Every structure is written in C-alpha cells, then in structure tokens.
DNA sequence: ACAAGGTCCATTGTATACGTATTCCTGTCG
DNA sequence: CGACAGGAATACGTATACAATGGACCTTGT
C-alpha cells in the first residue's frame, strides 16, 4: 500500500521527457513510447508494475488519449498487459511464454545467421563491435540496465543485417520480451549474455562462416535460457511469503 | 472521383454488423475488428482502398474513438497503412515485403513441421481435413474469398499445433499479409495453394513424418511464391491506367 | 476479533467537440 | 487555353467531459 500512496503524492508538476525540446508534434508520442519501453526493457519498471493512464498523462504532459494509444501499442508488442477494466501493467511473462520466446529466438536467429554472414560488411562489423564493447563496459560498470538494453539492441541489429525487415522486427520484439523474462526469471548474479559471446560471434560472421555462427548462436541462446531459473510461481499467496521473508 | 461520390452518398442509416445482436459491450469492437480484417483478407477491400474513420464509425454505429483503436491494431499487424494526415488505407505490399514475408514463412513454417508432426493427434488431423475440404469446396465453387481465408486459417491452425503460441501468432499474421500479397501480385488464374497440397501435407503429418512434411511445406510455399508475378509497379499514374482499361 | 456485506471512490471506457492540416475545386491571370 | 493561387470543405489529431465498473475501505453483526 505504501507504493500506491507514494505514487499518488508524487503528483509533481515536473514533466519528464525533454520539456522544451520536443515539439508538440507527433514526434512527442514516439519519444514517450521509447521512454516507456526503454524503462520496461531496462527493468526500471518491473513486471507487474501498474501503469495508470492519469499518472502517465501528467508525467509526460499529454492527454490520456495519447497515452492510451501508446499503451495499446505496447500491449500489442506484449510489453504491457491490458486488463479490461483494470488498466495497464507491465507484463509478467509466464514460464510457458518464456520457453516459447526462447524457442522462437532459437529458430529464427539461428536461421538468420548464414544470410547475415553473407551480407556482413566491415562497416556493420565495426558498428556491432562498438555495441558489444559498450555492453561489456556497462556490465563491468555495474549498469545492468544499460547492458540489457545494449544486448537486445545487438541481437536486433544483427537480425536487421539479414535484409529481412519482417523477421528483424519480430526478433526485436522477441528481444524486448526476453528482457522482461530476464527480469522475472533471471538470477541476479550473471545475467544474460556472457561477456565475450557477442565478440566471438562477430568473429565467425566476419569470416563469413555462417555455419559456425549459426551453431554458436544456438549455444549462446541455450546458455542464456539455461541461466534462467524457470519455476512457475504459485498463484495463491506468494506475495505474502515474499513480503514476510523480505 | 466516382468512387468517392458513391461512398459519400451512401451515408445510409443501415448499420452493418449484427444490429440487435452484439451488446454494446467490448465484444462489439472484436466483431468490428474481425469484420474489417476479414474484408481485407477476403479481398473485399482491395489494397490501396481508403478507410475513412467517419465512414466506418457511421457504418458500424460506434464512435470514431473505437474505430481509431481498431485501425491502429490493424496497422500494427500491417494490414492497413496509417499515413500521418491522410488517414488509413489497406496496405499495398511492396515486392520487397512480399519476398520478406515468404522467406519468413519458409523459415518458420518449415521449422515448425517436425514439432507439429510429433504433436499431431487424430482429432486435430480430422479438424484440419475438414478445413482443407471446405477450402477445396470453396475453390471449386468459385468463392475465391472464402478459399483464401480458409487457406490462411489452415496454415495458422497448423502452426498453433506446434504448441508455441508466439510463433503461431506470428505465422497467422504472415498468412494475413500473404492474402494481401496475393491480391496485389497473384494471377487470377490459379491462386494460392494447389488443390490437394494441404491434404498431402496432412498425410505426412499423420504418419508422424516430420522430415517429409517439412520438405513438402518448403515446396508448397515455394510454389505459391513462384505463382506470383512480382513486378514493382510504377509510382506515377498506374491508377489512371487501371481506370481507363477497366 | 474476524468475517461479511455495503457503500464510496478511483480508474478506465466511450463519446463529443474543437483545432489544424491537407486536398480538391474554382476563379483569375498570363 | 493552361497554370497557379486562394478558399472552402473534408478528415485527422487531441483534449475534455461523462458514464460505468471494479476495488478498497469501513461498518456492522456474530
């Protein structure tokens, strides 16, 4: 209950987002969308967190109409769950969904590797190396949020290189959902991708070795999935236990 | 211009959809969504057709607010295109998009076959046989609309059998987009799936022969793609030519 | 003291109204 | 006779207001 009280009292006139920068144009919605989705992907908004329309409209300085549009978009990407008369909340993926997502990534990302290896260019490789480096640095600096986002961006960028926009878009959505899954089932210790996995993968791709890249991506994803502790949480009173143990 | 005039004058008080049946509840939106998406998939609404919010709100008897929500949902599924200040229109897939969609289907639907063969049950097989039969009957009866919808439903149902809801949903969306692609690039003569392909595929799956099913699905999709006449249409005045030739 | 019921409030769902941009038509000028 | 410009109408984008439903808190009875 303290959470709700705190959220209510913080009715602040301080609007986030770039106050004077973004014109009131339609780009505003884009920026708000990214602000919310980034917050979810970076675990600043945890699964189960409620997203009240009034609060969001006050925070971002736009009317509920615009917020609703953004919320529906996020819902179709399955980052938030829209319960009929209860409002929006950050999606809490089930164990079955987690398995589905990783199976899908296994099939698609691995299947994409040969084509990516074929289309890899020095410029793209350089960009990916930069992303991998920034991810490592974030991880080393203890910034889990940034590391998770960079990892998802890396996988998404890689998929885009295949030239298939449809599949790339799907991979990006799967990566976003993976971030949510990590938030729920991930162990705090070692999260997500191993430090040098992405660099190793890049080496194979730069060599044009699609086969090895495909196999390596398969192991990479399996490793991530194996690092999760998938246990279906009980439905009845798990919150009470958590509260008392905390 | 005749089209526009006709559409304008038909301002009719006759509301479509079930007038007294569907309660004004939230189910109404579901039925409207399906009415529009079915119309698109069945080619009753052709690519490029404009979907004015006012007209739709009058036709279905709900306010523009609800229509906008539905339109945005259709836009995220890429069945309609939302141009910033121009409104909504049925998406006209480009040649590149068509290739992407069929490449994606190739990868995913083929990859799903082994698991589908493993999970195939007599009941599911029976249901799929019924769907294939109804598709054949529709095709024989000259009802292209129904045949196209049934074909998409068949592929979607098949994907659902894999047990992976995420991939199944994606396949369903790809099938919807395929219907659009057929509308633009398909030859009127022989459209979509060959008559007995689906039955043959079912036989392999009932035998639990995932390998052959996978190979057959690959050929099946390749055959559909090959039957298309992919030619990038000119941008300037193709509509005029079509109007004058018609 | 605990449980059950009722009442009140908070939050979402929907509609309507207003503002703005774009497009089509018409009139005039070259 | 054609082309450009201006105006009017049309259609989208946004905000605000109202209605309905579900939850939470309080009260009361056992």
Q: What pLDDT does residue A233 have?
A: 57
**The pLDDT of residue B18 is above 80:** no
A63: Cβ contacts below 8 Å, ≥ 6 apart: A57
- Count other Cβ atoms within 10 Å, centred on residue A198: 22
B165 contacts in A (CB within 8 Å)? 96-97, 100
Alpha helices (H) in B83-196, listed in sequence order: 95-119, 122-140, 144-160, 165-185
Q: Which residue of B has its CA nearest to A69?
A: B69
Nearest residue in chain A measured CA to CA from B110: A107
> What pLDDT, in 10s, does the model give residues A36-91?
999 999 989 999 899 999 899 988 888 888 898 899 999 989 999 998 888 899 99
Q: In what order do the strands lie in the sheet with B50-51?
A: B50-51, B87-90, B80-83
Place of tokens 């705090």: A188
Domain locations along chain A: 2-90, 95-227
Lowest mean pLDDT among A26-35, B196-205, B214-223: A26-35
pLDDT at A35 over 80: yes
CATH class of A95-227: mainly alpha
**Whose CA is closest to B150, among B140, B136, B163?**
B136
Tell me which fold the domain A2-90 belongs to: Arc Repressor Mutant, subunit A (1.10.10)
Q: Does A97 contact chain B (CB < 8 Å)? A: yes
Bases in strand C with any atom closer than 7 Å to a protein CB = 11-17, 21-23, 25
In the numeric block, which tokens belong to residue A161?
Answer: 């290189």
**What's residue B184's pLDDT?**
87
pLDDT tens per residue across span A78-118: 999 998 888 899 999 999 999 999 999 999 999 999 999 99
Q: Which two tokens stand for residue B77?
A: 């599924």
Tell me the CA distances in angstroms from A219 to A148, A198, A212, B88, B164, one per residue in order: 19, 12, 11, 44, 20
> Beta-carbon neighbour count of residue B134 at 10 Å?
15
CB pairs under 8 A between A and B: 50
| Structure confidence at residue A177 as a pLDDT band (50, 70, 90) | very high
Positions on chain D within 7 A of a protein C-beta: 11-17, 21-23, 25
Same fold, A2-90 and A95-227: no
Average pLDDT of span B10-32: 55
Mean pLDDT, chain B, rounded, equals 83
Residue B82: strand, helix, or coil: strand
Q: Which nucleotide is nearest to B67 (CA to C1')?
A: C14
Number of neighbours of residue B13 by Cβ within 10 angstroms? 6
pTM score of the predicted model: 0.86
Averaged pLDDT, A139-157: 91
pLDDT of residue A128 exceeding 80: yes
Q: What is the pairing mode between strands B87-90 and B50-51?
A: antiparallel
């Amino acid at each position: 209950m303290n959470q709700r009280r705190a959220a209510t009292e913080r009715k602040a006139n301080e609007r986030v987002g770039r106050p004077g920068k973004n014109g009131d144009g339609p780009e505003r919605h884009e920026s708000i969308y990214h602000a919310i989705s980034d917050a979810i992907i970076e675990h600043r908004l945890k699964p189960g967190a409620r997203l009240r329309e009034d609060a969001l409209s006050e925070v971002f300085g736009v009317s509920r109409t615009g917020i609703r549009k953004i919320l529906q978009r996020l819902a179709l990407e399955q980052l938030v769950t829209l319960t009929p008369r209860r409002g929006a909340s950050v999606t809490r993926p089930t164990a079955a969904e987690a398995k589905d997502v990783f199976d899908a990534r296994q099939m698609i990302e691995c299947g994409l590797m040969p084509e990516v290896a074929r289309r890899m260019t020095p410029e793209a490789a350089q960009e990916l190396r930069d992303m991998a480096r920034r991810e490592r640095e974030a991880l080393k600096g203890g910034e889990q949020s940034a590391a998770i986002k960079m990892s998802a961006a890396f996988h998404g960028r890689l998929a885009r290189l295949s030239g298939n926009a449809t599949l790339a878009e799907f991979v990006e959505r799967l990566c976003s959902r993976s971030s949510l899954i990590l938030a729920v089932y991930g162990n705090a210790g070692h999260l997500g991708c191993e430090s040098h996995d992405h660099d190793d993968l890049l080496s194979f791709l730069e060599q044009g070795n699609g086969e090895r890249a495909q196999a390596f991506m398969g192991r990479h994803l399996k490793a991530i999935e194996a690092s999760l502790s998938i246990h279906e949480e009980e439905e009845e009173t798990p919150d009470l236990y958590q509260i008392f143990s905390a």
